[in-house]
Amino acid sequence: MILTVTLNAALDLTYRVPHLVPHASHRVREVTERPGGKGLNVARVLGALGFRTTVTGFVGGETGRVLRALLAANAEAETGKEGAEGPAGGGTPRVTDALVQVAGRTRRTVGVVDETTGDTTQLNEPGPHITPEEWDGFLTVYRELLGRGPAAVALCGSLPPGVPVGAYATLVREARTARIPVLLDTSGEPLRRGLAARPDIVKPNAEELAGITGTAEPLRAARAAQRRGAHAVAASLGADGMLLVAQDGAWSAAVPERLAGNPTGAGDSAVAGLLSGLAEDLPWPDRLARAVALSAATVRSPVAGEFDEATYAQLLPSVRVRKAETP
């Protein structure tokens, strides 16, 4: 089992409109609702790859109720699948809900897809306020989940109001104490603090990496982030693929051709790729190849945030992994 943590889970709404014009009134042609927040996206990709995943974090209110119902419905759909392949086997739900109920309301995000331009405009509600008691309650659940011996744990996304800014540092330390490999995917001060707790992997994008290191050149910045505490730094560089700096080497990887498409969720798919490789104890270059292929298959998918399985299978062998050299 792989554990993913989403402290600021969301109910993701996608609205399709013919053309978004500020100050106008629009009829939404199609509404899609799905569980959102980085860790829940990572779990969905891992589930599609055949891995059993447990999701935790905070959930509350009517929006939280919808989120949990959608998770349960997805799990039921997966259980019903014939001849499921991969490590989870058939007949078992691949995503288990271990979210912690809070008094506040789970936030919504609204992605408005302009059918004329293909662009998405994103509106993200603030998360619910978490009380100190709720944070303590979460820590108890988290320790209990670590005690079940997950193959890896991923800590994903922003912090809702009320959660201490050092939250990820605490969660990284707990995982390391339990000897569970831990990946951190966040930004700003929570990332800066989390780094100091020595996570096994951090997965910033180029902008987040530059933000915490003050260095725009990715390899230099990744090495700087490593010096600040991360055992390995996997930086996603958009269309340029990914860069990985580990204890025993540094590699860059990309698909042979630049892909057009929607980058929503590409970073979460990359995290799923890294985690799946970590869970199977693959060498770093193979983990990186998975992350890059999954990320590219997500950009190419017609549905935002989903990855295209056929595209993934086709892209994986074509990913070029090269030793990276200090510039």
Interface ranges with a copy of itself (CB under 8 A): 15, 17, 20-29, 31, 62-63, 65-66, 110, 112, 114, 117, 119-126
109 or 170: whose CB is closer to a copy of itself?
109
Tokens linked to 299: 């950009």
Separation CA 209–CA 235 (nearest Å): 7
Tell me how far, at minimum, the Cβ of 108 lies from a copy of itself, in Å.
Answer: 8
CA angle 102, 106, 108 (to 5 degrees): 175
32 or 92: whose CB is closer to a copy of itself?
32
> Which of 12, 97, 185, 268 is labelled catalytic?
268
Distances from the Cα of 14 to the Cαs of 17, 93, 261, in angstroms? Answer: 10, 25, 17
Tell me how far, at minimum, the Cβ of 97 lies from a copy of itself, in Å.
Answer: 17
Distances from the Cα of 43 to the Cαs of 38, 55, 125, 163, 171, in angstroms? Answer: 9, 7, 22, 22, 18
Tell me how far, at minimum, the Cβ of 251 lies from a copy of itself, in Å.
Answer: 30
Tell me how far, at minimum, the Cβ of 109 lies from a copy of itself, in Å.
Answer: 9
59 or 250: whose CB is closer to a copy of itself?
59
Separation CA 238–CA 307 (nearest Å): 16
Helix (H) or strand (E) holding 293: helix 284-299
Q: Is 268 a catalytic residue?
A: yes
121 or 318: whose CB is closer to a copy of itself?
121
Crossing angle of helices 206-213 and 218-227, rounded to 10°: 60
User: Could you tell me which residues are beta bridge partners of residue 53?
Assistant: 2, 95
- Reported in sequence order, the residue ranges of 227-324 that DSSP labels E, i.e. its strands, are 232-236, 242-246, 249-254, 320-323
20 or 259: whose CB is closer to a copy of itself?
20
Tell me how far, at minimum, the Cβ of 66 lies from a copy of itself, in Å.
Answer: 5
Q: Which letter does DSSP use for residue 239 in this model?
A: G
Provide the annotated active-site residues: 268
